[in-house]
Amino acid sequence: MKNFKSIFEQHSWDKIQTKIYQTTSKEVEQALAKTKRNLDDFLALISPAAQPYLEQMAQISHELTKKRFGKTIQMYAPLYLSNECQNICTYCGFSLDNKIKRKTLTDSEIKLEVGVLKKLGFDHVLLVTGEANYTVNINYFLNAIDQIKNAFSNISVEVQPLSQEEYERLHQAGVYSVLVYQETYHQEVYKKYHTKGKKSNFDFRLDTPDRIGKAGIHKIGLGVLLGLEDWRTDSFFNALHLDYLQKTYWRTKYSVSFPRLRPAEGIIEPNFIMDDKDLTQLICAYRLWNEDLEISISTRENEKFRNNSIPLGVTSMSAGSKTNPGGYVVDPQSLEQFEISDERTVNEMAQIISNKGYEPVWKDNPYFIYQKS
């Protein structure tokens, strides 16, 4: 059976990059005129040539999202279980070479954190850890899920890449979705950012969504770390990956996130700056290309951008997030993975969403229902 690597190897980074930057206004207009768009259209819509058409893209994106998802925003919260990590990644606060105190939550500490999230109203939780095989491994994940499964109707995980058999065990335990980011699809640059640990294996990480798909997980989330490489080229390869997955594991749902590089302990400066207008263009391009794709915006983004992104195509948002293990109540001073930008409370964010004419959804997942405006 083929995997994404066989598709990936058919594409040259340099050729794709050249094609993006040589896109013409006519090609953008042709993409905008369509009702069904392919990867070539997506490429045109993320090009510099599409920037003058951003208002038109935003209007189409708004209508497509409203047609498919209604005027709802799914609310979720990350729950960081551990900052232990065996990888050296030059952009991450959890990197092994950062000589700081490490913490992994115990059963009782997990329950304390869960209690806070439930009081805040969350019913969807994203479990996050560093990549430390000896401590936060499949057995730790399964135990943590057992501790919280009665508290949340929707459990997602963002942890180290696992084997297909381990993903099958997560599926059986009740995990709804798995998020895994390639970080960058530029294979040579990838090596410079990931210098030690299992994450330095580009191919193993690239094959991870295939293993998740084969395991039957309900939803797979992809994304690139915006700031490591040229965002346009990286985003094309991310869309190429999504396109392959949707055609191969067609029963599975898919989401995309847009993490921009944020300050953290020992972190490098971004090599490529992506401003708010660029991110707006990217969100709209994804929606115009794929009506069914779930689009998530986290508290990495600032208040103004998050407010303005609500009608653009976003379907889920975090709020009141803590990016350190025990950050909600157990150990607020533990090492965080990165600094959040939007520090508003959960209630404040929910009010903003309502003021925009949207419904913040806590319990019922609107994605199972085809909604019409």
Q: Judge whether residue 365 has pLDDT over 80.
A: no
User: What are 220's two structure tokens?
Assistant: 């797979």
Indicate the pLDDT class of residue 85, thresholds 50, 70 and 90.
confident
Looking at the predicted structure, is the pLDDT value of residue 260 above 90?
no
Gap between the Cα atoms of 236 and 46, Å rounded:
8
Per-residue pLDDT at 55 exceeds 90:
yes
Evaluate if residue 335 carries a pLDDT over 70. Answer: no
- pLDDT for residue 170 is more than 50: yes
* Residue 158: burial class (beta carbons within 10 Å; 0-12, 13-18, 19+): middle
The predicted structure's pLDDT at residue 265: 47
**339: confidence class by pLDDT, cuts 50, 70, 90:** low
Which stretch of 168-172, 261-265, 352-356 has the lowest confidence by average pLDDT?
261-265
Q: For 321-332, what is each residue's pLDDT tens digit?
A: 888 898 899 877
In the prediction, which pLDDT does 367 show? 41
- For the segment 87-110, what is each residue's pLDDT rounded down to a tens digit? 877 777 676 676 778 889 999 999
Q: pLDDT digit string (tens) for 208-230?
A: 999 999 999 999 999 999 989 99
50-54, 247-251, 320-324, 360-364 — which is least confidently predicted?
Answer: 360-364
With a cut of 60, say whether residue 372 has pLDDT above it: no
- Which residues are within 8 A (CB) of 81 and not within 5 positions of it... i.e. 6 or more apart? 104, 105, 110, 127, 128, 129, 136, 140, 144, 325
Q: Which residue has the tokens 């969504």?
A: 209
Dihedral sign, CA of 366, 367, 369, 373?
positive
**Whose CA is closest to 235, among 226, 243, 247?**
226
- pTM value is 0.93
* pLDDT category of residue 336 using cuts at 50, 70 and 90: low
pLDDT higher than 50, residue 366: no
pLDDT score for 270? 64
Residue recorded with tokens 């094609």 = 19
CA distance 119 to 113: 10
Which SS3 state, helix, strand or coil, does residue 295 take?
strand
Q: Does 370 score more than 70 pLDDT?
A: no
The confidence score (pLDDT) of residue 195 equals 87
Report pLDDT for 1: 64
pLDDT > 50? residue 343: yes
Q: What is the residue-averaged pLDDT of the chain?
A: 90
pLDDT value at position 100?
73
DSSP structure class, residue 230: -
Q: Return the SS3 of 20.
A: helix
